[in-house]
Amino acid sequence: MDVIIRNISLFFGENLDYIDKGHIIINRGKIKRVGSGDYEGGYDYPIYEGEGILACPGFINAHTHIGDSFGKDIGIDSSFETRIHPIHGIKNNILQKSERKHLINFMRSSAISMMRKGVVVFADFREGGLQGIDQIKEATSGLSIKSIILGRPDYYYDISQDFYKNRQFTPDIIKLICNILNFTDGLGISGANENTDSSLNQYREIIQKKSLKKKYLIGIHASESLETEKKSITVTGKSEVQRIIGNLSPNFIVHLTNASDMDIKLVAKKKIGIVVCPRANGTLGVGIPKIAKMLSYGCCIGIGTDNVMINSPDMFRELDYIWKLTRTLEDKPVPPREILKMATVNGAKILGINSGAIVTGRSADMIFIDKNNLDISPMHDPYTSIVHRANPNTILNVMIDGKFVDGDII
Ligand SMILES: [Zn+2]
């Protein structure tokens, strides 16, 4: 059965063109028709009045680790490596020592919190092998928010010791990676410094082989801090990006906070997506990604909130932070419309999902914003308004796959 929303303002299509008064028709979880002006068909279907409401594509949080939701703000004064290193970091200690039910409860809280803040899809790098995947599935079961789970075998090399030996994964680890892929959407790899050239190549080969039956994603962190970048160059003679592009062919790279211009150009040339996490970078004090520069080189940029342990999974705050920081730190300001695309259209493009835009055929994943809310009214520039004034309080409801998340009202 169709659902019709009329007299609604909306951001239309992949260019987020603003329509002041339009209509959206939803059928079986998808957008059946959308356009300006009033709906002129029959009125046999449920009709919602959209006067005073702005429909924005639902946010795609393109990089999270909700597994550490239990460790909020632990070790706040410690260094980057001390907090989140996959082997000897405080984070790993928390994941190992906490009770399963606590980890799951807090992961579920993060998923609900994201949904209330307008996130319709999140892509999670899940540590902990098969057990970790099992936990996130249990934590998100029954919730409308959609998750893309990118697993890993939790088997790490240290390039300082293993690079020249060029160690390889054993058949047992390869079997585990294949098994992980049976339950996930792909791989979320820690970084180049935790892999030899051989192991990166093995990841690529496994994905290529498995992708004959189902399309899998590969994401990997790179150039997050200057220390990790320096380590890569000192030990291997190459930057993290150079090693990744030479050995892995990922769909997207997370961070690139300290990447050189040459590396950013290389990523753009190879059409690899970039997922920036500026607030998480800010918490760790590792720098701020050069977003205006990335855009000028033609990169496709998405946004992630990264570890819940170090940052809140709030895309509104991320938008605001990016807009003001790029204005302050870079020569060319990034227009709010481009920043909003990063949180919606681009995230969907990078992850290859049918979401992120209000256009015919896409999943009906939308945020309904109250234009009359005290914080944003009067709305003179809808893009700027969403990017640096809107907040979760301005949301009337969120729709995922054509269903309202919070009761049947807008
Ligand atoms: Zn991360």
Structural domain boundaries in the chain: 3-58+356-404, 59-351
Q: Could you tell me the distance, in angstroms and rounded to a whole number, from the CA of residue 126 to the centre of ligand 1?
A: 10
- Phi-psi label, residue 385: left if phi above 0, alpha if psi -120 to 50, beta otherwise: alpha
Q: Which residue, 216, 220, 228, is CA-closest to 200?
A: 220
Average pLDDT over residues 9-26: 97
Q: Are 344 and 119 in contact (CB under 8 A)?
A: no
Q: Is the pLDDT of residue 43 over 70?
A: no
Q: Could you tell me the distance, in angstroms and rounded to a whole number, from the CA of residue 205 to the centre of ligand 1?
A: 23
Q: Could you tell me the distance, in angstroms and rounded to a whole number, from the CA of residue 348 to the centre of ligand 1?
A: 18
Does residue 83 or residue 151 have the better pLDDT?
151
d(CA 236, CA 240): 9
Average pLDDT over residues 302-326: 97
Q: Could you tell me the distance, in angstroms and rounded to a whole number, from the CA of residue 112 to the centre of ligand 1?
A: 20
| pLDDT-above-90 percentage for the chain | 84
CA distances from 54 to 3, 83, 84, 117, 330 (A): 17, 40, 38, 15, 31
Average pLDDT over residues 42-67: 91
Q: Is the pLDDT of residue 42 over 70?
A: no
Average pLDDT over residues 25-52: 88
Average pLDDT over residues 6-34: 97
Which of 1-5, 93-97, 176-180, 396-400 is the least confident region?
Answer: 93-97
Q: Which residue, 173, 211, 180, 225, is CA-closest to 195?
A: 173
d(CA 213, CA 229): 36
Q: Which two tokens stand for residue 6?
A: 């009329």
Q: Could you tell me the distance, in angstroms and rounded to a whole number, from the CA of residue 6 to the centre of ligand 1?
A: 40
Mean pLDDT of the chain: 94
Q: Could you tell me the distance, in angstroms and rounded to a whole number, from the CA of residue 258 to the centre of ligand 1?
A: 15
The class that CATH gives domain 3-58+356-404 is mainly beta
Q: Is the pLDDT of residue 349 over 70?
A: yes
Q: Could you tell me the distance, in angstroms and rounded to a whole number, from the CA of residue 374 to the centre of ligand 1?
A: 35
pLDDT digits (tens, 9 = 90+) for 245-298: 999 999 999 999 999 999 999 999 999 999 999 999 999 999 999 999 999 999
Q: Is the pLDDT of residue 89 over 90?
A: no
Q: Do domains 3-58+356-404 and 59-351 have the same CATH topology?
A: no
Average pLDDT over residues 297-314: 97
Q: Could you tell me the distance, in angstroms and rounded to a whole number, from the CA of residue 212 to the centre of ligand 1?
A: 28
Q: Could you tell me the distance, in angstroms and rounded to a whole number, from the CA of residue 156 to the centre of ligand 1?
A: 15
Q: Are 365 and 343 in contact (CB under 8 A)?
A: no
Helix runs in 358-408, H state only: 382-388
Confidence grade of residue 172 (pLDDT, cut at 50, 70, 90): very high
Q: Could you tell me the distance, in angstroms and rounded to a whole number, from the CA of residue 134 to the centre of ligand 1?
A: 19
pLDDT digits (tens, 9 = 90+) for 360-404: 999 999 999 999 999 999 999 999 999 999 999 999 999 999 999
Q: Could you tell me the distance, in angstroms and rounded to a whole number, from the CA of residue 249 to the centre of ligand 1?
A: 18
pTM of the predicted protein model = 0.96
Q: Could you tell me the distance, in angstroms and rounded to a whole number, from the CA of residue 111 to the centre of ligand 1?
A: 16
Q: Give 313's strand partners.
A: none
> What superfamily would CATH give domain 59-351?
Metal-dependent hydrolases (3.20.20.140)
For position 227, what pLDDT does the model report? 94
Q: Could you tell me the distance, in angstroms and rounded to a whole number, from the CA of residue 280 to the centre of ligand 1?
A: 9
What's the distance, Cα to Cα, between the start and end of the chain in Å?
A: 18
